[in-house]
Amino acid sequence: MSTYSGETPAVIELSNIHFIRQNKTILSGIDWRIAPGQHWAIMGANGSGKTTLLKIITGYEWPTFGQVSVLGQRFGQTNIRELRKLVGWVSSSIEQRLPAEDKAIDIAASGIEASLGLFRTFTDAEYEQAMQALGMLNAQVLARQRFGTLSQGEQQKVLIARALVNQPRVLILDEPCAGLDPAARVRFLKDLEHFAGMVQAPSMIMVTHHIEEIGPWTTGVLLLKEGRIMQSGTADEVLNSKNMTNLFEFPCEVKQNLTRRHLIV
C-alpha cells in the first residue's frame, strides 16, 4: 500500500520513530525521508542509535511507536520478509557467519536466497547474476578465490555483491570501511562512487565515523546524537566544525580540499 497518492513513494519514510528498551530511550522523534535517487550518510558517536535505526528500517527491530514505510509499504500492513528482498544490508557482523571455505562467487550467489552459507547449488543463470554483482564492484577477479583468504577490503566487496545480487532498491552499508587500510579504503570508496553513479544503483544509506568517506555521491547527511536527529541536510550544509564539535562533544575542525573533507580532532 502506498503512503502517497499521485506521487512516487519515498524509498524510506520514518515518522516520529521512538525506540525504547529497558527504560532507555534509544531513538526519539525520528522523522526522515529518503526520496528516490538519493544516497545518504549517517554519522553519530558510538551508541547514538545508528545501527538501531538501520534495524528498524529492515524490520529486525520494531519501534515503540512511530511509522515506518519502505518503498511505499507501511510496516504492519506488509510482508516484511518479501520487502527485505528489496533491501540489501551489509554489516561487519555478517562476515563471521559465512563459510570461509566457500568461493567468493558462491558467497555472492548465496544472497539470492539471502541465506548464510551454501545450502544448495546454483544454476548457471544465478552464477551469471552473482558475477554481474561482483562486476559492479570491480571484483570479478575474486570470483574463484576462497572467501576466507580474501583481504578485508575484498571481503567487503563480495558482501556488497551478495547484497546486490537480487538487485535491491535500497543498499544499507553499516561502516563498510571499518578495518580497511588507507589505500584499500580510498580504492573501495572510488568503486562505491562509481557504483553510485550507475543508473541501476539502489539508494544507499552508509553509516560512517569518517567524514572523508562521505563522497560527492552522497545527497544527504543525517547527524544522530543521543537518539535524536541533530541535523540533516546536504554534506555542505551539515559537515562543518561547529556541528562535528557538537556531535562528538569534542573540539573538531573540518578541513576541505578540492575533492574531500577531513576532520582534525
Ligand X SMILES: Nc1ncnc2c1ncn2[C@@H]1O[C@H](COP(=O)(O)OP(=O)(O)OP(=O)(O)O)[C@@H](O)[C@H]1O
Which residues of this protein are in contact with Mg ion, per CB under 5 A?
Answer: 50-51
Q: Which residue type, as a one-letter code, is found at position 98?
A: L
Q: Measured at CB, which residue is nearest to Mg ion?
A: 51
d(CA 111, CA 27): 30
| Stretch touching ligand X by CB under 6 A, among 17-25, 75-83, 154-162, 176-184 | 17-25
Binding ligand X by CB under 6 A: which of 1, 6, 7, 22?
22
CB of 55 to ligand X, least distance (A): 8
Residue closer to ligand X, measured from CB, 142 or 207: 207
Nearest CA-CA partner of 47 in 67, 14, 21? 21
H helix intervals, the chain: 50-57, 80-84, 92-95, 104-110, 124-136, 152-164, 182-196, 235-238, 241-248
Helical packing angle, 152-164 and 182-196, nearest 10°: 20
| Stretch touching ligand X by CB under 6 A, among 21-29, 93-101, 157-165, 241-249 | 21-29
CB of 50 to Mg ion, least distance (A): 5
44 binds, among Mg ion, ligand X, none (CB under 5 to 8 A by kind): ligand X
26 binds, among Mg ion, ligand X, none (CB under 5 to 8 A by kind): ligand X
Map residues 29-68 to x or -, x wherever contact with ligand X holds by CB under 6 A.
---------------x-xxxxxxx----------------
CB of 21 to ligand X, least distance (A): 4
Are 30 and 66 a contacting pair, CB within 8 Å?
Answer: yes
Angle at 56 between CA 55 and CA 62, to 5 degrees: 115
47 binds, among ligand X, Mg ion, none (CB under 5 to 8 A by kind): ligand X
Q: How far is CA 149 from CA 95, 104, 107, 145, 153, in A?
A: 12, 10, 13, 7, 11
d(CA 102, CA 113): 16
**Residues binding ligand X (CB under 6 A):** 21-22, 24, 26, 44, 46-52
